[in-house]
Amino acid sequence: MLSLMRRYEANNITTVLKMMRLSSLSSTPKITENEDTEFRVLELIPSEKKFVNKKKFAITKPTVKPKAETMSVTQNWQAVWPAARTFHPYTVPLPLKQGYKNPSGVYPDKYANAELMKIPNFLHLTPPVIKEHCKALKRFCTKWPTELQTDEECEKHFPLEIISSNYCYSSPTIREPLARIVIG
């Protein structure tokens, strides 16, 4: 690979030299092949004396405020946070704090807070959003049938069996068979 690169560089250099000779034939005296031509040295790290004071010519970009500071309090929150997702500090216009106090007695704020980013949260379930969901689901709801007054009639027409179990298990593994959903 290295030999191919060297051959490619050598070919490029010779073609550039030929082009320079052809272009210089018309305006300057002939350059013989024996003459040495100087090439500029490629400096990947320029020497310190060539640095120019760039502070005079520095272009400053305007800083953009975080979205959380420019957001309106009365905006449609469902459009901003439509579902459960990992916390993003620049999208939430609330001063959230979570975690242990640091030695100076201050809780970590929302920026770079690992506690807030660990699990998906329920910031999408605000009361106005829940009201909209209920309003959308209401059209699919029907009134309870008047014929089903007792539990026996309900079990006769709608045979459902609900099994629930509550247990406390302290183990470092997630391979507990009772924690799995078995469909069969």
* Span 49-94, pLDDT tens digits: 655 555 555 667 767 777 777 888 788 888 888 888 888 888 888 7
List Cα–Cα distances, 121 to 14, 73, 88, in angstroms: 65, 20, 10
State residue 70's pLDDT score: 83
Residue 40's pLDDT band (cuts 50, 70, 90): confident
CB 121 within 8 A of CB 91: no
Instruction: Give every CB contact of residue 78 below 8 A, 6+ residues apart in sequence.
Output: 124, 126, 128, 129, 132
Query: Does the model's pTM come out above 0.85?
Result: no
> Which of 72, 80, 77 is closest to 132 using CA atoms?
77
Kindly list the distances between the CA atom of residue 102 and the CA atoms of 10, 87, 94, in Å, as whole numbers in the listed order: 62, 21, 21
